[in-house]
Structure 1
Amino acid sequence: MKSLVLERKDDLSLRDVPEIDRAEQDLGPHDVRIKLHTVGICGSDVHYYTHGKIGPFEVKAPMILGHEASGTVIETGADVTTLKPGDRVCMEPGIPDPNSKATRMGMYNIDPAVRFWATPPVHGILRPTCVHPEAFTFKLPDTVSFAEAAMVEPLAVGVHAATKARVRPGDIAVVLGAGPIGLVTALSALAAGCARVYVTDIAEKKLEIAGSLSRAITPVNVTSENLVEVVKRDTDGWGADLVFEATGSPRAAAQIFEPLAPGGCVVMIGGQPDPISYDAGAAMVREARVENIFRYAHVFPRCVAMLASGAIDVKPLITRTFEFDDSVHAFEVAASAPPADVKMQIVLPQ
């Protein structure tokens, strides 16, 4: 079946991948076969395309891209009980070893043996169909569209970050970065109880989108405003209770404690290509708590429920949609990082 294949750095093609057809010909008893509908373009997909690697994960053989997805169940294994053909679903893309110590401790996202779509050498799902475990496939309510469902995966990062931050009602938060992850983190922080969230970026269009999401979000363009001064001014000099780093920028990480209040919490979300430094002394005098997240765990049902109820609205973040036959062009556009775009998605033929 025709798939979007990253042949090597800077080289994409739409072609058949026979080994996928062979590997997924048979359905396991606890698996479902899914016809893909919508797949989001993630920053990691683009990074593999433009750089060929992320940290230790290097593209050494052709790999199908894509891991943010929704679709429809078309076949179920013999022992599947919660899903049936015709069910609309979204899928959690990381499959851990069920017997690993990390999984048994409930931290399956950091299982060293986890197989995650579109992370070398595991193929992704920019293709017509896939086979996936029932346990990591989630039925969609009628009120959640395929496009929204394909946003559950990035939203899960934000919800996991807010959970790790231990948001309390009325907290003041700062989110560094108004990309897709930064904005879902801001929405998650508000849903968790924050009274106000400051969102920073250098792209005015992204900040306009951030400001349109909620009157509780204050956009800050760091090219013309001093974030620390803004936060201190609005908090009587105290600072923000929470700071979420969602840029992946060493410069942002180096200054991460400056807007933080004493006793506050920093959550590191953005992936760093190289080791970074931050001011340990600034953390110490604040007794700051520092949390790190790696993807997410146990949050997909929560995300689906919040989309269904309207507690979180991700529709404004979906700024451009491409047909599957235009997938190569879609990645070329995404790699150019248009300042007015947040999340681009690809729709497959139905």
Structure 2
Amino acid sequence: MKSLVLEEQHVLSLRDFPEISRAEATLGPRDVRIKLHTVGICGSDVHYYTHGRIGPFVITQPMILGHEGAGTVVEIGAEVTTLAVGDRVCMEPGLPDPNSRASRLGLYNVDPAVRFWATPPVHGILRPTCVHPENFTFKLPDTVSFAEAAMVEPLAVGVHAATKARIKPGDTAVVLGAGPIGLVTALSALAAGCARVYVADLSEKKLEIATSLSAAITPINVRSESPASVVARDTDGWGVDVVFEATGSAAAAARVFEPLCPGGCVVMIGGQPEPIQYDAGAAMIREARVENIFRYAHVFPRCVGMLASGAIDVKPLITRTFAFEDSVHAFVVAASAPASDVKMQIELPQ
């Protein structure tokens, strides 16, 4: 079956991949087989394509890309009870060791043994079918489309970040970065109860998209003004309750405390390739609480519920869709980082 394969850095191909067919030929008793419908292109997929590695995870052999997916159950294991053939589903891509200490503490996302789609040496899901455990596969209501369901994975990052922030009704927040993760974080902060969310970025196009999402979002173009100055002006110098760092930029991360109010919280979302400058004095005088997140845990059902109810609308973030046969071209486009695009997706043949 044809899969989108990263052969090595800068080299993609759409080809048969018999290894994965053999590996998933047998269905475990608590597994389901899913026919993929829609798969999102994540920044990590693009980074593996352009750089061949992310931190300690290095492409040393061909790997199938993709981990943001939705599809239809076509086969179930003998002991599966919550899903049936024909169910539309989305899938949480990280599988921990259920017996690990981290998992037993409920921190399964930081289990050192977690196996995550499209993270070497684990293959992703830009292919016709995949096999996945029932416990990490979630049934979709009729009101949630496959395209929206493929957004649950990035949305889960934003919901996890908002949960870590302990947002209260009426709080204010700054989100640094208007990429896909920054924008789902802004939506999650509003759904959690924020009265106002500032979104800061260099791209005017992305800020326009951010502004279109809600009247409660205020854009800040950091080319012309700083988040700290805008927030100080609007809050009589007090600051916002929460700052979300979603850029992965060392320069942005070094200034996260500037817009923060006393007693506020900073949530570090963006991955940093190198150690960053940290203003301990600015944190100290605010008694700032600092949270870090690694992917997400326990939030996929919440995300599906909010999409189903309309509490969060991710449709405006899906800015381009490609056919599966155009997957290689889709990654070339994604790697060029068009300013007007947020989330690109790939639809597989049905």
Q: Is 1:191 aligned to 2:170, yes or no?
A: no
Q: Distance in 1 between matches of 2:156 and 2:170?
A: 22
Instruction: Identify the residue that residue 98 of structure 1 maps to in structure 2.
Output: 98
Give me the identity figure in percent: 83
Deviation sequence 1:116-167 (CA, Å, 0-9, x none): 0000110000000000000000000000000000000000000000000000
Q: Distance in 1 between matches of 2:47 and 2:275?
A: 18
Instruction: Identify the residue that residue 114 of structure 1 maps to in structure 2.
Output: 114
SS of 2:47 mapped into structure 1: helix
Q: Distance in 2 between matches of 1:73 and 1:25?
A: 15
Q: Distance in 2 between matches of 1:42 and 1:322?
A: 14
Instruction: Identify the residue that residue 88 of structure 2 maps to in structure 1.
Output: 88
1:242 positional shift = 0.2
Any stretches of 5+ residues in structure 2 without a counterpart?
A: none
SS of 1:38 mapped into structure 2: strand
Letter in 2 for 1:304: V
Instruction: Identify the residue that residue 215 of structure 1 maps to in structure 2.
Output: 215
Q: Distance in 2 between matches of 1:104 and 1:227?
A: 40
SS of 1:205 mapped into structure 2: helix
Q: Distance in 1 between matches of 2:50 and 2:180?
A: 19
1:55 positional shift = 0.8
Q: Distance in 2 between matches of 1:78 and 1:109?
A: 27
Letter in 1 for 2:38: T
Q: Calculate the aligned-residue CA RMSD, in Å.
A: 0.5
Letter in 2 for 1:295: R
Instruction: Identify the residue that residue 318 of structure 1 maps to in structure 2.
Output: 318
1:80 positional shift = 0.3
Instruction: Identify the residue that residue 344 of structure 1 maps to in structure 2.
Output: 344
Q: Is 1:305 aligned to 2:282, yes or no?
A: no
> Aligned runs of 1:202-241 on 2, under 5 Å?
202-241=202-241
1:114 positional shift = 0.3
Q: Distance in 2 between matches of 1:292 and 1:227?
A: 21
Instruction: Identify the residue that residue 270 of structure 2 maps to in structure 1.
Output: 270
Instruction: Identify the residue that residue 327 of structure 2 maps to in structure 1.
Output: 327
SS of 2:188 mapped into structure 1: helix
Instruction: Identify the residue that residue 26 of structure 2 maps to in structure 1.
Output: 26
SS of 2:212 mapped into structure 1: helix
Q: Distance in 1 between matches of 2:87 and 2:295?
A: 26
Q: Distance in 1 between matches of 2:321 and 2:154?
A: 17
Q: Distance in 1 between matches of 2:274 and 2:37?
A: 35
Q: Distance in 2 between matches of 1:226 and 1:336?
A: 27
> Aligned runs of 1:229-268 on 2, under 5 Å?
229-268=229-268
Letter in 1 for 2:134: E
Deviation sequence 1:226-279 (CA, Å, 0-9, x none): 221110111111001100000000000011110111110000000111111111
Any stretches of 5+ residues in structure 1 without a counterpart?
A: none
Q: How does the TM-score come out when normalised to structure 2?
A: 1.00
1:224 positional shift = 1.3
Instruction: Identify the residue that residue 43 of structure 2 maps to in structure 1.
Output: 43
Letter in 1 for 2:236: D
Q: Distance in 1 between matches of 2:228 and 2:272?
A: 23
1:17 positional shift = 1.2
SS of 2:319 mapped into structure 1: strand
Q: Distance in 1 between matches of 2:19 and 2:30?
A: 21
Instruction: Identify the residue that residue 127 of structure 1 maps to in structure 2.
Output: 127
Letter in 1 for 2:29: P
- How many residues of Structure 1 are paired with residues of Structure 2 in the alignment? 350
Deviation sequence 1:197-249 (CA, Å, 0-9, x none): 00011111100000000000001100012221110111111001100000000
SS of 2:36 mapped into structure 1: strand
Instruction: Identify the residue that residue 55 of structure 1 maps to in structure 2.
Output: 55
Deviation sequence 1:90-138 (CA, Å, 0-9, x none): 0000000010000000000000000000001100000000000000000
Q: Distance in 2 between matches of 1:262 and 1:45?
A: 38
1:16 positional shift = 1.1
SS of 1:173 mapped into structure 2: strand
Letter in 2 for 1:6: L
Instruction: Identify the residue that residue 17 of structure 1 maps to in structure 2.
Output: 17
Instruction: Identify the residue that residue 176 of structure 1 maps to in structure 2.
Output: 176
